[in-house]
Structure 1
Amino acid sequence: MRLRSAFLFTGLGALAFSVAAFAQGDPIQQRQEAMKAIGGSMKTLGEMAKGVKPYDGSAAEAAMGRIHESIAGFTDLFPEGTEMGGDTEASPAIWEKPEEFKADADALAAAAAAALPEVGKGLDVLRASMGSVGGACKDCHQSFRIKKN
């Protein structure tokens, strides 16, 4: 039984590595996965902040941690030549104004870093953090995202 488990875990590990390696070769897919992680985490935090879901400090910390982790290095996922292709909502402004794009991403990173040690301390703290984190998301999306219908 142990041998079978070892093979199962080895196989699952190899599969996970293959998926990760594939994603590493495709910056469009990588940035979409990062945005999905950030969006899912914002949904979790927003639902807690609005009272749709009960507040859970550990879940709030985990969600904010995913945002902080996902935004790190995010702007590196927009190299020249990835403006087109895939099902992307990336605006051409990303490549036209890379410094502004980086500043917006850095603003989210800073807001998430400041909120990370705090969001687990209570619902009121989470709600206060959502303004800066959500505002950073909104600012970047207004300038650098093309919303598809």
Structure 2
Amino acid sequence: MRLRSAFLFTGLGALAFSVAALAQGDPIKQRQEAMKAIGGSMKVLGEMAKGVKPYDGAAAEAAVGRIHDSIDGFTDLFPEGTEMGGETEASPAIWDKPEEFKADAEALKAASAAAKPEVGKGLDALRASLGSVGGACKDCHQSFRIKKD
């Protein structure tokens, strides 16, 4: 089971990388792909934490690793001039308060770095770590995301 999960997540990671490579040069598409990777990883972790899916330590570690890797350099995907266009949910606050936006991204990076060695230690450790990772996501989304209908 663990080996199959590792192969699945390796394949998903390669797919995400391929899609991101196609989006290269388009920061809106790049940041959307990064957010999809983070969202997909949070879904994996959340389903395990809620008991919807069985706990798998290797899959949990891989998911947290993808969050950490996806947020690295994320704020660079918001250059001036990309405030509008595409189907972006980026709030103008990103460009109005870039230091706060970077601080929120760094908070997610730190939370995911701290969670990675913990989530593989069992379901209780996953649940305990998920709060800080999810909280960092929520904080940023509340300040810097416009939810489209």
Scaled by the length of structure 2, the TM-score of the pair is 0.86
Aligned to 2:94: 94
The 1-side partners of 2:129 and 2:26 are apart by 33
Q: Structure 1 residues 21 and 42, CA, compared in 2 at 3 Å: closer, same or farther?
A: closer
The 1-side partners of 2:137 and 2:122 are apart by 22
The 2-side partners of 1:117 and 1:32 are apart by 27
Aligned residue type for 1:104: D
| 1:1-149 correspondence runs (5 A) | 20-149=20-149
The 1-side partners of 2:46 and 2:92 are apart by 29
Residue deviations 1:70-125 (CA, integer Å, cap 9, x gap): 00000000000000001000000000000000000000000000001111110000
The 2-side partners of 1:72 and 1:134 are apart by 17
The 1-side partners of 2:17 and 2:147 are apart by 32
Q: Structure 1 residues 148 and 65, CA, compared in 2 at 3 Å: closer, same or farther?
A: same
Residue deviations 1:43-77 (CA, integer Å, cap 9, x gap): 00000001111100011011001000000000000
Aligned to 2:12: none
* SS of equivalent to 2:120: helix
Q: Structure 1 residues 19 and 69, CA, compared in 2 at 3 Å: closer, same or farther?
A: closer
The 1-side partners of 2:49 and 2:19 are apart by 34
Q: Which has the larger radius of gyration?
A: 1
Aligned residue type for 2:121: K
What runs of 5+ residues in structure 2 fail to find an aligned partner?
1-15
The 1-side partners of 2:107 and 2:19 are apart by 30
Task: Give how far 1:18 is off.
Answer: 8.2
CA contact (8 A) 2:101 2:140 kept: yes
**Backbone CA RMSD of aligned residues:** 1.6
Aligned residue type for 1:121: K
